Chains A and B, each alone.
Chain A
Amino acid sequence: MKKLLYYTLPLLVIATVLVPFACSKTEKGRTDDLPALQPDKSDLEAGSWKPILLTSANEFSISAPIATNTPEYIAQMNEIKSWQASLTDEEKNLVKYWSAGAVLRWNEILRELVAKHNLPPYQNEDGTYPVPNANNPLAYPQFPFANPPYAARAYAYVSAAQYDALVAAYYYKKLYNRPAPYKVDATINVLVPQTDLPAYPSEDAVVAGAAVEMMKLLFPGDQEYIQQKAEEHKRARIIAGANVRSDIEAGEALGKAVAQKFVTRARGDRAGTAGGTPTDWAKLETDCIARGETPWYSLEVPKRPPMLPLFGKVKAFLFDSLTAISLRPGPPPLTASKKMQDETDEIYSLTQNDTRDHYRIVHYWADGAGTSTPSGHWDAIAAEDFIKKNYSEVRWARNMALLNMSLMDAAIVCWDAKYFYFNPRPCQLNPKIKTLTGVPNFPAYISGHSTFSGAAATILSYIIPDQSATYDALAREASLSRMYAGIHYRADCEVGLETGKKVGDYAVDRGKADGAGN
């Protein structure tokens, strides 16, 4: 017996241990090793699709490309050849990374920047809170605080600008019809799937140019990182033999020009003043008390001003401001009513029953501080489905724009309702309620997650109808997660989902009319 133990125990220990540790520790992301994007359809006619802000696809002109038999073009092809003569692993990796899709990769970069900046500022000594300053973005607190409304708007602007820029690019592709360098010179290696789509201007450079220009406004402190990504993206296309330098330069210039129009819109869309003033904050409270209701107050110590109380006044993409107000839902149960008492009791009992599965659902959907927010989460869900669909870049951008305009406009309608009703959170009405994730610092009615998810599921169900049951189930789970977490009442979630669907319907109507088909 002793000898048996003597030998088997150490062996057992070693065996249990070597199995889990035998594998490499590096964990890959789900999209790290994607194959190159090979669109099922080229969407060559996308120049006729309806843009969002552009008056027409040729609002910004680009000059005709140089002919492929000119010495200058031949010199540009030689640039490709000289890169390809000695490719490093790093260069091969760049080609592989960017070949998965330009819109996809820039969406991922944007999600990363949102997550990096989604941190509430730490309080000052006197208990007030500093506000990030766009003109001094690197000083603490860094600009921006990429909270859910800010993020929803950022995703919408970048996606919409990329879409319009690609509509313009496809218009010129068809107009000028300059082939890809590998079609001109068969001796050029092509490291990405070949296409019949004309190469001038480069769709990749258009996407990068629009992203860079838009993100100067949205993430002014991260320019070095953004520029580095853009340089790598452009270089990857030349290394891959997919574009010559003039394809890239024309595309980048076009992307930037189109994005400028979105930057101008963004500067005037009222988001800059959405934080409000102490007078605005006080008025929200006094107005609520005047209605005979218990007002929301911040549950943080020290009390933090409400998150972007005037975001409901931001200019939406899918409808005008009167429509936005018409989408405002009816009131929540009165704070003193039996109904509100019952709803609070329901949340208390849910938090008392904090099962492991509740935590799984709550944390999967928490999308709180330090994450890419609910909009980014829905972008990730959509992106992983879009990857399977092999969309052209312009269709990728169109679908992302429809999704992200829905999410931004959902944020607008939701924030309007939150501050119109200024309804307290469950744990304000019953401090015994302990939450399974952090309590967001804004009023309860209606649930942001529910509104975002209702909108996202609606437009995604239009884009990929055979997944609609899945999207609906995801939206319901996201909504329910906020009740399990103890941070929303049932009414917040149910009305939020309905309101989000109404917002999503506007995107569906736009999608049906934009000429892209499905």
Chain B
Amino acid sequence: MKQSRKTSLRYCPLLYLFLIVGTHSALAQTDIDGIMMSKKNLCIGPMYGYSSWKNYWEGTLKRENLNLGTVSSQMYSVMGAYGVTDKLNILFSAAYVRTKASAGTLHGMKGFQDASLWAKYVPLEKKIGKGDLSIIGLAGVSAPLSNYVADYLPLSIGLRSKTLSLRAMADYQVGKLFATLSGTYVFRDNIKIDRDAYYTTEMHNTNKVEMPDALSFNFRAGYRHNDIIAEAFLDNWTTLGGFDITRNNMPFPSNKMNATRLGANVKYHTPNLEWLQLVVNGSHVIAGRNVGQSTSINAGLFIVFSVAKKQVPDSSPKKVQQ
């Protein structure tokens, strides 16, 4: 039996906040790590995020809006992960979001946004060449935590759509270096808005809005060893359908929102305080459609402990149960 370097890391496989959207700041909570929480270990902690943009894409046209200035959002969330086994983790998060525009007269919004719950399972771990390959499958759901307003973009705190995400992921590590590639299909449920009619590319005499599904890809690579994970990532969110914001119009929840982001992420704990972990990441949208060109930073502090009876947190590498 071989010891897996990945499971032994005891890092929180966190739900990252993907600011997909935006001419506003709906945040999709999504897990894109190739690491697992050890059995009967729980990590949990607060995370703070700040994101802002001044330019956005109106369809494919990049512009600024002097009547919005800079649109910013702050996110306060709680996230966690639990190792049901070394190969099955449950991840969860819940967020509170506050938005603001620096210019113009529009009122910012705040409120409890969405909660998400993911199951993450490793069906296959194998040594290939000099490295370890893991194949990971994830399924996640998200739903709004409150009756917040979706149809007030770009200042809505989210899109209110219930989602189901299915993700396949491959993680390969050679020595201290790794790469992770994942692809996700996001089913999005229709939403209700406060208006009783709206125009997309045609009139809809209803308060219900069809939300197109979305596809996302994530590639991340970097250094992963003992006390530190440092990685760069490139990801893409593509809405499968939807329509472009028309000239000088307001955005709408069912717009075709696409974004490609570049970012970096660090997870760290000091060798003698393994139960306390720091996570910092930042990203910038490098291409988009009907979204804001946001720059985001997130920081979180997590505690890790074993919930097994009469056990102190296990600081030595665990063996993978085969």
Q: Residues of A with Cβ closer than 8 Å to B?
A: 2, 5-6, 9-10, 13-14, 16-17, 20-21, 25-32, 108, 111-112, 115-116, 119-122, 140-141, 299-302, 351, 354, 356, 359-360, 363-364, 366, 369-372, 377, 380, 427, 433-436, 438-439, 486
A119 vs B247: C-alpha distance in the bound complex, in angstroms? Answer: 8
Q: Could you name 6 residue pairs across A and B whose Cβ atoms are closer than 8 Å?
A: A9-B119, A30-B196, A32-B205, A115-B203, A299-B104, A356-B149
Which A residues touch B106, using CB under 8 A? 434-435, 438
Which B residues touch A32, using CB under 8 A? 205
Partner of A115, one of B139, B193, B199: B199
Q: How far is the CB of A338 from chain B (nearest CB, A)?
A: 24
1/0 per residue, CB under 8 A from A, across B292-306: the answer is 000000000000000
* A1 closest partner in B (C-beta): B84
Whether the pair B141, A301 counts as a contact (CB closer than 8 A) is: no
Whether the pair A116, B84 counts as a contact (CB closer than 8 A) is: no
Whether the pair A369, B210 counts as a contact (CB closer than 8 A) is: no
Q: Taking the complex as formed, is B60 at the interface, i.e. its CB lies under 8 A from any CB of chain A? A: no
Whether the pair A119, B246 counts as a contact (CB closer than 8 A) is: yes
Given contacts A21-B187, A301-B104, contact A363 B149 (CB under 8 A): yes
Whether the pair A363, B195 counts as a contact (CB closer than 8 A) is: yes
* A122 closest partner in B (C-beta): B248
Whether the pair A9, B90 counts as a contact (CB closer than 8 A) is: yes
Whether the pair B195, A366 counts as a contact (CB closer than 8 A) is: yes
Q: How far is the CB of B308 from chain A (nearest CB, A)?
A: 11
Whether the pair A13, B190 counts as a contact (CB closer than 8 A) is: no
**Residues 194 to 237 of chain B near chain A (Cβ within 8 Å):** 194-199, 202-206, 208-211
Which B residues touch A9, using CB under 8 A? 84, 90, 119
Partner of B202, one of A25, A112, A486: A112
A370 vs B117: C-alpha distance in the bound complex, in angstroms? Answer: 36
Given contacts A356-B147, A371-B198, contact A20 B203 (CB under 8 A): no
Whether the pair B250, A27 counts as a contact (CB closer than 8 A) is: no
Whether the pair B248, A10 counts as a contact (CB closer than 8 A) is: no
A17 vs B149: C-alpha distance in the bound complex, in angstroms? Answer: 22
* A118 closest partner in B (C-beta): B199
Whether the pair A31, B205 counts as a contact (CB closer than 8 A) is: yes
Which B residues touch A21, using CB under 8 A? 164, 187, 189
Known: A32-B205, A363-B194. 20 other contacts (CB 8 A): A5-B90, A6-B85, A13-B140, A16-B141, A17-B187, A20-B162, A27-B210, A29-B205, A29-B206, A30-B205, A112-B203, A116-B199, A141-B247, A351-B107, A356-B148, A363-B151, A370-B198, A370-B249, A372-B197, A435-B105
A17 vs B104: C-alpha distance in the bound complex, in angstroms? Answer: 40
A29 vs B196: C-alpha distance in the bound complex, in angstroms? Answer: 10
Which B residues touch A13, using CB under 8 A? 117, 119, 139-141
Partner of B247, one of A31, A140, A377: A140
Whether the pair A369, B250 counts as a contact (CB closer than 8 A) is: yes
Q: Taking the complex as formed, is B67 at the interface, i.e. its CB lies under 8 A from any CB of chain A? A: yes
Q: How far is the CB of A371 from chain B (nearest CB, A)?
A: 7
Which A residues touch B107, using CB under 8 A? 351, 354, 434-436, 486
Given contacts A30-B205, A356-B147, contact A371 B199 (CB under 8 A): yes
Whether the pair B203, A25 counts as a contact (CB closer than 8 A) is: no
Partner of A25, one of B141, B197, B206, B210: B210
Which B residues touch A370, using CB under 8 A? 198-199, 246, 249-250
A371 vs B205: C-alpha distance in the bound complex, in angstroms? Answer: 11
Whether the pair B105, A427 counts as a contact (CB closer than 8 A) is: yes
Whether the pair B204, A27 counts as a contact (CB closer than 8 A) is: yes
Q: Which of A20, A300, A364 has the most CB of B within 10 A?
A: A20
Given contacts A301-B66, A369-B250, A427-B105, contact A27 B190 (CB under 8 A): yes
Q: How far is the CB of A391 from chain B (nearest CB, A)?
A: 19
Given contacts A351-B107, A366-B195, contact A302 B66 (CB under 8 A): yes
Q: Taking the complex as formed, is B108 at the interface, i.e. its CB lies under 8 A from any CB of chain A? A: yes
Whether the pair B195, A364 counts as a contact (CB closer than 8 A) is: yes
Which A residues touch B248, using CB under 8 A? 119-122
Whether the pair B164, A433 counts as a contact (CB closer than 8 A) is: no
Q: Taking the complex as formed, is B20 at the interface, i.e. its CB lies under 8 A from any CB of chain A? A: no
Q: Taking the complex as formed, is B103 at the interface, i.e. its CB lies under 8 A from any CB of chain A? A: yes
Whether the pair B209, A27 counts as a contact (CB closer than 8 A) is: yes
Q: How far is the CB of B101 from chain A (nearest CB, A)?
A: 9
1/0 per residue, CB under 8 A from A, across B152-164: the answer is 1000000000101
* B39 closest partner in A (C-beta): A2
Q: How far is the CB of B89 from chain A (nearest CB, A)?
A: 11
Please give me the 4 A-B residue pairs with the lowest Cβ-Cβ distance, nearest first. A112-B203, A29-B205, A115-B199, A434-B107
A364 vs B194: C-alpha distance in the bound complex, in angstroms? Answer: 5
Q: Taking the complex as formed, is B88 at the interface, i.e. its CB lies under 8 A from any CB of chain A? A: yes
A17 vs B246: C-alpha distance in the bound complex, in angstroms? Answer: 33
Whether the pair A6, B193 counts as a contact (CB closer than 8 A) is: no
Which A residues touch B246, using CB under 8 A? 119, 370
Partner of A111, one of B88, B103, B203: B203
Which A residues touch B149, using CB under 8 A? 356, 359, 363
Which B residues touch A377, using CB under 8 A? 197
A141 vs B67: C-alpha distance in the bound complex, in angstroms? Answer: 19
A486 vs B108: C-alpha distance in the bound complex, in angstroms? Answer: 13
